Amino acid sequence: MKKLFPYSFLTFAFLLISISSFSSPGKETKSAELSHPKLVVGIVVDQMRWDYLYRFYDRFGDDGFKRMINQGFNANNTNIDYVPTVTAIGHSTVYTGSVPSIHGIAGNDFIINATGETMYCTGDKTVKTVGSTSDAGEMSPRNLLTTTITDELQLATNFRSKVIGVALKDRGSILPAGHSADAAYWFDGESGNFITSTYYMEKLPRWVDDFNKQNLVEKYLNQGWKTLYPIKSYVQSSADDNRYEGKFKGADRPVFPINTAELYKTSGAGIIRSTPYGNTLSIEMAKAAVEHENLGKNVVSDFLALSLSSTDYVGHQFGPNAIETEDTYLRLDKDLGEFFNYLDKKVGVGEYTVFLTADHGGAHNINFLKDNNIPANPWATGKILTELNNVLQAKFGAEKIILSLMNYQAHLNHKLISEKKLDIEAIKLAAIEFLSKQEGVTYVVDMEKVQMASIPKLLRERIINGYNRLRSGEIQIILNPGWYGSGSANPTGTSHSAWNPYDSHIPLIFMGWGVNPGKTSRPTHMTDIAATLAALLNVQQPNGCIGEPILEALK
């Protein structure tokens, strides 16, 4: 009994103290307020391959990419969860934590199967352009079927959070900002201005008008584009002037220095997209949004969704191994460093959270691979579509049974098939038989029967995730590694859309408030980004989210 008495006494005493503390109103303990970042900044670098982080690491300064890598949490093995890997789907998936089969953005463009109508991902004829006389503002997020992490932040704070989207591309601004954004701004190449649509407002805020009046496009392009460092130091890239790179219109060769002032005169403001100055312009617009919208000064978290689009334009034109591409990333590194330093002063060091990722990667140029004895070839999409329809017409007696091979998917003409009372299963079998015999094709899969297809599990999952039955083609085509669709036998630059690591392995780094510095090489997914942000912000995950929080990244 002596051994039990002290324990019983202590227990009794603890209970008395506990009861006393709960029953004495005057001694009630005040609960600590739930902390949160003042501002979340989401950065999507369009067409940024994961390996660029390390390919150019030694050339980066200390304040941009290196700062994120060394001070943040680096998820080194993050992959995209679906095919096709394109811009609109990537931005949608990053911010929804979902996939095309659920969030509905099945491509940059996709076909509504019920009508055969081609739909642009953010196209919306019910709204009008604000800030320009062009039709570039007839856009909204209405085609997106789920909420975004930005929507969920708004819902969690009773819409007291301020959410702004900024990008050159409309889809890079609109889809991340979500349905309930305060504003989304994108670049109009016709006017050279940042614009929006009546979905958000009836007229531009004064600060946006003032920003546009600076005419930064002309200022930047009049500087010309020469390499940031001596051109001989670009040892990570192919020599300047080669057959892998595309030329600017009117230029004799794709070489430095590039007379961007002359390009501006002949091609207009839109040419800035294909130079590193497009990223500079976007970041300056983002700074202006922080400044004039007082982002990070709220009692709740605000959110800035920034997409950097010029890397995609430069990549498509010049390819991953061009000096132009390397120089674009070195200049972007400097711009990011200045942006982070600005946020340090404006919002506060450690007071904001930033993440950086990509919407997709990009393949090596086909001729570059072939010249280095690596298998690759162009796939003549248009020619194959014509031949396929000729075969089907001979068998079923109707023209253009296949509407498109867009997104490496065969889209059936359902209206025609219904009118002619054709056998859809027989058509699919005939199309699969034809496509399977084409050079460069690894697999051809009936979307409705993908579970039974004899293909690797990873491909099966990505095909299922990418298939939206109302907006996707009924047949998925998987090409050999290194192959991609082209209208040319000798394509310049690059493309993307495939499942392969060069298109699907993306960077993902978190830095700042609430982030636990470190890294992981375990498999993580694009769909995990929104789930991780929801955990960081203590808000509900988006309503179509299938990802999981990357717990190692969070304090």
From 29, 78, 85, 87, the catalytic residue? 87
E-strand stretches of 314-376: 352-357
Of the candidates 431, 511, 499, 438, the residue with the CA atom closest to the CA atom of residue 463: 499
Extended strands (E) in 73-200:
73-75, 78-79, 109-112, 117-120, 129-130, 163-166, 183-188, 193-197
- The structure tokens 């407002």 sit at 201
CB 418 within 8 A of CB 406: no
Peptide bond before residue 507 is cis, with ω within 30 degrees of 0? no
Active site residue 87: yes
What is the distance of C-alpha 444 from the center of its chain? 27
Task: State the Cα–Cα distance between residues 405 and 201, nearest whole angstrom.
Answer: 37
Strand 73-75 vs strand 508-512: parallel, antiparallel, or unpaired?
A: antiparallel
Q: How many CA atoms lie within 13 A of 359 on its CB side?
A: 33
Are 144 and 164 within 8 A, CB to CB?
A: no
Tokens 């090489």: give the residue. Answer: 521
Q: How many residues does the chain have?
A: 555
Q: Are 188 and 132 in contact (CB under 8 A)?
A: yes
**Distance from C-alpha of 505 to C-alpha of 345, rounded to nearest angstrom:** 33
Q: Which amino acid is at 125?
A: K
> What's the DSSP call for residue 247?
P
Nearest to 246 by CA among 187, 315, 307: 315
String of DSSP letters for 201-245? -SS--HHHHHHHHT-HHHHHHTT-B--SS-GGG-TTSPPSS-TTS
Count Cα atoms within 13 angstroms, Cβ side, for 299. 5
Q: Point out the residues that are catalytic.
A: 87
